[in-house]
């Protein structure tokens, strides 16, 4: 069962302080500036708390009065203390239950739950040069700006640790753009269509150097013009 | 105790007898092999040098509960004979996204290198918890671990993918245990996912335990079925949510002696194995082949079809001691007829969807219950209230032998908590999470001080406590005064000021692990614990009122503590105060690989 702690052994004991202790190293490290990804997404819409990205940020922490406990405003990061995996799994489930309860009121037979439900829209996100993919749930966001912020947080760690040298250079030097693959398999620039339409048609995301993304934007506009 | 006290060796014959201290060492080692409990071993190792030597030579189970506290070279020098090694990494609050990723991404690498160079030649099992492990690490391990290596388990780990699992499967020939639990594995492109299940060698395997319930891609069922079919020793199997009920039935037919089963989706699907599936078949799968006598633990139920819940009632009534329904939003109507049959349950995890009435029913039937978790279906402060103080009081009335409880709710009363403190004197773990921050007793309007005070006062065996709700300094006065056995303490959004922290640090003499978030505690509170910090494994304080000065003072006076300041805020929102303080004792001094958002004092 998950959560059981295997208690197999003993702890290493620390020697008593003062007994041949090595000189305390007071290594001072300054903060390196985290590199802001310049994701070329349209701004607009209010900034909403995003519970799915990591590292999460606390929404408007009140530090003005240190004597009183911070007044609870928007949702706090990591509160209630439930792991993201469980939280996401339950989001999908509770949407299904609401659907089932509604249909049960109408019909005596319990409605078969659809796989995945309407509760989430997970898509894979890749960034050129990053060692592995991430996943985001597009339903967690309301606007392109929210998504942009989430993606920045998600991929900032790669650039911050500096292990992925190529991407650091790319972000430092030139812009990156975010593109998405839609239901037809075409790659489009993110931000051209209304948000709801984007969520409905987006199958996956890819963050690439802007130099590689030439020619996408016009196609997107044309595509949706002919359709409507 | 010293060597001089022992008897002289018998008169020498021409063939020399071993010198007295060597005789003693041999005797000691023989005797110490029977000493298993970690604290006993620690105590034995402190007696004198020869005891220290003997204990180190005979230490078979090694637990490095903070991977940053000791290097593998040091561990290998002292405990060369280790068979089982447990490594723990990140602090627990990292589970809730409070710690930025990449905080200690390469902490495991030196250990992987050490294992690869046979630093622990007798190594048989490795357990990793909250550690980042890469596919390259796993590949290195797979190719270099001794043939005696048998067990590998990952709990809450991350950083690897199916490729790493495939390396392990294909190279660790004698593997008996491969458990991947609650891990956040790397996402992969669909066409790049490795078929690690098919990577196990042909012919019979020695697998006794195989768990992969957190593996997100689908595992090809034919390969899984074939693997299970050729693993006659399999006793524990945990599949992921893509395995349908029909497929589960096929796997169960191949494993009549299972003791632990993670059931996957527990819903019929579209697979070939689900054709014509009905309730009777599943009922039969659970009640035949002596299943009721062997199956002790059930989990999974990731997409439970509620009409199938009663099919497990036969095993539940007989031998089932552990049941995890925490991914199944079961309603009271579905739960009541089922729980009535679970008389032998000792461990139960449920969602609050069962409501107070479900908990009342559970309390009336499950008299042997020792461990209970009631987890939230909707983990938000403003979610609907599904369970309340009514459920908690009922649990305490019915389950007098309760030892461990984790209870999420929206609101609570002191009266219910006080009742539990009287009814359940065996409690060792009391974790109450009132999801609304700073919520007082919703009937009296008082803070929750008296409730938590009663718990520490009446539950003398209490070793772990998590608080919530509106708490004043008085609650911490109680905890400091009465919580003399408390070793792990989690505090969030509580207290009025430094005095609260002082109560804790000066009162809880056995405190080892302290996690605090978003409390109005400052430097004065922190500094009141100087006398005790070396006895602790770690202290975490985030979102409090600490300053750089205060933390520097701690670092200055306690050179063996590694004092890390972690910044999880974006550039634009950084303040001058300390965001996260994480400090821990270490034999190695400050670590080398430090990400830019961490500052070690």
Task: Determine contact: A89 vs chain B, CB below 8 A.
Answer: yes
pLDDT at residue A115 greater than cutoff 50: no
Residue B225 contacts A where some CB pair is shorter than 8 Å = no
Out of B63, B302, B517, the one facing A10 most closely (by C-beta) is B63
B159 → chain A, closest CA residue? A132
Least-confidence region, from A155-169, A179-193, B75-89: A155-169
Highest mean pLDDT among A71-75, A167-171, B276-280: B276-280
Does residue A57 or residue B244 have the better pLDDT?
B244
pLDDT at residue A140, as a whole number: 80
CB B12 within 8 A of CB B20: no
Is residue B463 within 8 A of residue B428, CB to CB? The reply is yes
Q: Closest-CA residue in chain A for B468?
A: A80
Q: What is chain A's alpha carbon radius of gyration, rounded to the nearest angstrom?
A: 23
Among residues B387, B384, B440, B381, the alpha carbon closest in space to that of B414 is found at B440
Q: Using one digit for the tens of pLDDT, what is the confidence trace for A132-142?
A: 778 888 888 88
- Position B550 scores a pLDDT of 94
List B residues 415-444 in contact with A (Cβ-Cβ < 8 A): 433, 435, 437-438
- At residue A4, φ and ψ (nearest 5 deg) are -70, 135
State the pLDDT confidence band at B14, using cuts at 50, 70 and 90. Answer: low
pLDDT in tens, B137-153: 999 999 999 888 999 99
More confident residue, B209 or A24: B209
For residue A217, what pLDDT is reported?
A: 52
CB contact under 8 A, B86 and A25: no
Confidence of residue A35 (pLDDT cuts 50, 70, 90): very low
pLDDT > 50? residue A94: yes
Tokens representing residue A202 in the block: 């987006």
Q: What percent of chain B has pLDDT over 90?
A: 80
Q: What per-residue confidence (pLDDT) applies to B5?
A: 38
| ipTM here | 0.87
Across all residues in chain B, what is the average pLDDT? 92
Q: Report in angstroms the alpha-carbon separations of B237 from B311, B420, B424, B482.
A: 19, 36, 34, 43
Asked if B405 and B429 touch (Cβ cutoff 8 Å), the reply is yes
* Partner B contacted by A84 (CB < 8 A): yes
Q: Is pLDDT at B544 greater than 70 in this prediction?
A: yes
pLDDT > 50? residue B269: yes
* Residue B575 or residue B450, greater confidence: B450
**Which residues in chain A have Cβ-Cβ distances shorter than 8 Å to B563?**
none
Among the ranges given (A40-44, A83-87, A88-92), the one the predictor scored with the smallest mean pLDDT: A40-44
- Tell whether the model's pLDDT for residue A187 goes beyond 50: yes
Question: How many CB atoms neighbour CB A30 within 10 A?
Answer: 7
| Residue B443: predicted pLDDT | 96
Q: Using alpha carbons, select from A35, A43, A34 the residue that is nearest to residue A147.
A: A43
Which of residues B152 and A21 earns the better pLDDT score?
A: B152
Q: How far is CA B342 from CA B250, B369, B371, in A?
A: 25, 10, 14
pLDDT of residue B15: 54
CB contact under 8 A, B63 and A3: no
Arithmetic mean of pLDDT, A213-228: 53
pLDDT of amino acid B30: 85
Whether residue B32 contacts residue B25, with contact meaning beta carbons closer than 8 Å, is answered with no
Instruction: Name the token pair of A128.
Output: 């050129």
DSSP strands (E only) in B303-428 = 322-324, 347-351, 371-375, 404-409
- Find the range with the poorest average confidence among B7-21, B56-70, B183-197: B7-21
Q: Identify the pLDDT of residue B437.
A: 93
Phi-psi sector, B111: left (phi>0), alpha (psi -120 to 50), beta: alpha
As to burial, measured by CB atoms within 10 angstroms (0-12 exposed, 13-18 middle, 19+ buried), residue B357 is: middle
Packing angle, helices B498-507 and B473-482, rounded to 10: 10
Mean pLDDT in residue range B430-445: 96
B246, B277 in Cβ contact below 8 A?
yes
Grouping H, G, I as helix, E, B as strand and the rest as coil, residue B593 is coil
Q: How far apart are CA B117 and CA B112, in angstroms?
A: 9
- pLDDT band for position A210 (cuts 50, 70, 90): confident
Out of B5-9, B235-239, B546-550, least confident range: B5-9
Q: Which among A8, A76, A83 has the least Cβ separation from residue B63?
A: A8
Spell out the alpha helix ranges (H) of chain A: 84-106, 144-161, 165-173, 195-201, 216-227
DSSP A23: P
Cα(B76)–Cα(B62) distance, integer angstroms: 10
Six-digit token string for B553 = 């003072």
Q: Among A140-154, B88-102, B418-432, B577-591, which is the least confidently predicted range?
A: A140-154
Among residues 198-217 of chain A, which lie with CB inside 8 Å of chain B? none
Q: Is the pLDDT of residue B327 over 90?
A: yes
Q: Which residues of A fall within a CB distance of 8 Å from B596? A: 29, 31-34, 160-161
Listed in sequence order, the DSSP H helices in B99-148 are: 109-116, 135-144
Which residue of B lies nearest to A31 if distances are taken between CA atoms? Answer: B596
Interchain contact, B597 vs A34, CB within 8 Å:
yes
Give, as one character, the DSSP assignment of residue A99: H
Question: Which whole number is the average pLDDT over A106-122?
Answer: 47
pLDDT for A102: 67
For residue B408, is the peptide bond before it cis, meaning its omega torsion is within 30 degrees of 0? no
The minimum CA-CA distance between B11 and chain A, rounded to whole Å, is 40
A11-20, A63-72, A121-130, B534-543 — which is least confidently predicted? A11-20
Check pLDDT > 60 for residue A166.
no
Interatomic CA distance for residues B173 and A169, integer angstroms:
43
Minimal Cβ distance to B127: which of A8, A25, A160: A8
Task: Write out chain A residues lying below 8 Å of B577, CB-based.
Answer: 63
- Give the pLDDT score at B38: 83
Q: Model confidence over B381-419: pLDDT tens digits? A: 889 999 999 999 999 999 999 999 999 999 999 999 999
More confident residue, B6 or B479: B479
* The two three-digit tokens of residue B355, written as one number: 């409501």
| Neighbouring residues of B144: CB distance < 8 A, sequence distance ≥ 6 | B115, B116, B117, B118
Contact B377 A63 (CB under 8 A): no
> pTM for this structure?
0.80
What is the model's pLDDT at position A88?
84
Given a cut of 90, whether residue B33 has pLDDT beyond it is no
Cross-chain residue pair A76–B437, CB shorter than 8 Å: yes
Closest-CA residue to B102 (of A126, A225, A131): A131
Averaged over A134-155, what is the pLDDT? 81
- Identify the CA nearest to B185 among candidates B132, B231, B115, B143: B132
Q: Which of A13, A50, A52, A55 to mutate to test the interface with B (most CBs of B within 10 A)?
A: A55
The pLDDT value given to residue A128: 78
Q: Cβ of A57 under 8 Å from any chain B Cβ?
A: yes
Local confidence band at B449 (pLDDT 50, 70, 90 cut-offs): very high
The residues pairing with B260 across neighbouring beta strands, listed in sequence order, are B236, B297
């Amino acid at each position: 069962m998950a959560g059981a702690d295997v208690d197999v052994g003993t702890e290493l004991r620390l020697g008593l302080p003062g007994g041949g202790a090595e000189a305390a190293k007071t290594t001072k490290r300054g903060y390196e500036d985290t590199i802001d990804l310049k994701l070329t997404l349209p701004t607009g819409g209010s900034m909403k708390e995003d519970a799915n990205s990591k590292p999460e940020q606390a929404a408007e922490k009140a530090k003005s009065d240190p004597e009183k406990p911070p007044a609870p405003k928007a949702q706090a990061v990591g509160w209630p203390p439930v792991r993201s995996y469980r939280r996401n799994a339950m989001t999908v489930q509770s949407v299904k239950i609401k659907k089932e309860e509604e249909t049960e009121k109408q019909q005596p037979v319990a409605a078969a739950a659809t796989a995945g439900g309407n509760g989430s829209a997970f898509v894979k996100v890749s960034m050129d040069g990053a060692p592995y993919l991430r996943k985001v749930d597009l339903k967690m966001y309301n606007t392109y700006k929210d998504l942009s912020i989430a993606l920045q947080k998600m991929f900032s760690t790669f650039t911050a640790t500096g292990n992925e040298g190529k991407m650091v250079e790319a972000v430092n030097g030139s812009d990156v753009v975010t593109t998405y693959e839609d239901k037809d398999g075409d790659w489009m620039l993110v931000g051209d269509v209304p948000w709801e339409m984007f969520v409905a048609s987006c199958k996956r995301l890819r963050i690439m150097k802007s130099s590689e993304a030439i020619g996408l934007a016009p196609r997107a506009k044309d595509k949706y013009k002919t359709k409507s | 105790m010293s060597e001089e006290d022992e008897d002289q060796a018998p008169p020498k014959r021409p063939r020399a007898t071993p010198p007295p201290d060597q005789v003693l060492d041999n005797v000691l080692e023989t005797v110490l092999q029977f000493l298993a409990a970690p604290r006993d071993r620690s105590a034995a190792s402190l007696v004198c040098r020869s005891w220290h030597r003997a204990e180190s030579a005979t230490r078979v189970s090694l637990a490095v509960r903070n991977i940053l506290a000791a290097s593998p070279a040091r561990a290998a020098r002292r405990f060369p004979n280790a068979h089982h090694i447990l490594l723990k990494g990140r602090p627990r609050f990292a589970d809730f996204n409070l710690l930025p990723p990449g905080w200690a991404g390469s902490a495991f690498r030196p250990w992987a290198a050490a294992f690869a160079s046979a630093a622990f030649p007798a190594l048989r099992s490795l357990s990793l918890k909250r550690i980042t492990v890469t596919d390259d690490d796993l590949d290195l391990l797979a190719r270099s671990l001794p043939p005696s290596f048998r067990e590998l388990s990952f709990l809450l780990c991350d950083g690897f993918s199916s490729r790493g699992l495939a390396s392990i499967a294909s190279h660790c020939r004698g593997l008996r245990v491969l458990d991947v639990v609650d891990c956040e594995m790397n996402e992969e492109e669909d066409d790049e996912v490795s078929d690690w299940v098919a990577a196990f060698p042909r012919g019979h395997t020695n697998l006794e335990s195989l768990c992969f319930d957190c593996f997100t891609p689908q595992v090809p069922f034919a390969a899984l079925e074939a693997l299970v079919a050729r693993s006659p020793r399999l006793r524990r199997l945990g599949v992921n949510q893509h395995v349908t009920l029909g497929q589960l039935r096929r796997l169960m037919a191949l494993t009549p002696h299972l003791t632990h089963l993670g059931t996957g989706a527990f819903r019929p699907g579209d697979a070939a194995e689900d054709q014509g599936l009905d309730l009777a078949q599943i009922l039969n799968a659970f009640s035949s082949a002596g299943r009721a006598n062997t199956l002790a633990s059930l989990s999974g139920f990731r997409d439970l079809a509620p009409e199938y819940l009663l099919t497990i009632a036969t095993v539940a009534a007989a031998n089932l001691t552990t049941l995890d329904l925490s991914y199944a939003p079961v309603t009271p109507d579905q739960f009541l007829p089922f729980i009535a049959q679970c008389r032998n349950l000792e461990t139960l995890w449920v969602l609050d969807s069962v409501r107070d009435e479900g908990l009342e029913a559970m309390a009336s039937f499950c008299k042997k219950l020792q461990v209970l978790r009631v987890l939230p279906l909707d983990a938000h402060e403003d979610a609907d209230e599904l369970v309340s103080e009514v459920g908690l009081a009922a649990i305490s009335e019915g389950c007098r032998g309760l030892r461990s409880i984790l209870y999420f709710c929206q609101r609570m009363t002191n009266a219910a908590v006080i009742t539990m403190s009287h009814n359940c004197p065996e409690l060792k773990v009391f974790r109450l999470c009132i999801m609304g921050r700073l919520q007082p007793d919703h009937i009296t309007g008082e803070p929750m001080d008296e409730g938590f005070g009663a718990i520490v006062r009446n539950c003398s065996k209490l070793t772990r406590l998590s608080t919530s709700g509106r708490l004043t300094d008085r609650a911490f006065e109680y905890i400091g005064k009465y919580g003399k056995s408390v070793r792990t303490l989690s505090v969030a959004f509580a207290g009025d000021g430094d005095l609260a922290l002082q109560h804790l640090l000066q009162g809880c003499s056995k405190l080892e692990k302290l996690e605090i978030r978003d409390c109005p505690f400052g430097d004065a509170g922190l500094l009141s614990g100087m006398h005790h910090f070396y006895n602790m494994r770690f202290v975490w304080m985030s979102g409090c009122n600490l300053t750089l000065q205060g933390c520097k003072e701690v670092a200055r006076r306690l050179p063996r503590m590694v004092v890390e300041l972690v910044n999880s805020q974006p550039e634009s929102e950084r303040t001058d105060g300390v965001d996260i303080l994480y400090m821990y004792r270490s034999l190695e001094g400050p670590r080398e690989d430090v990400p830019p958002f961490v500052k070690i004092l």
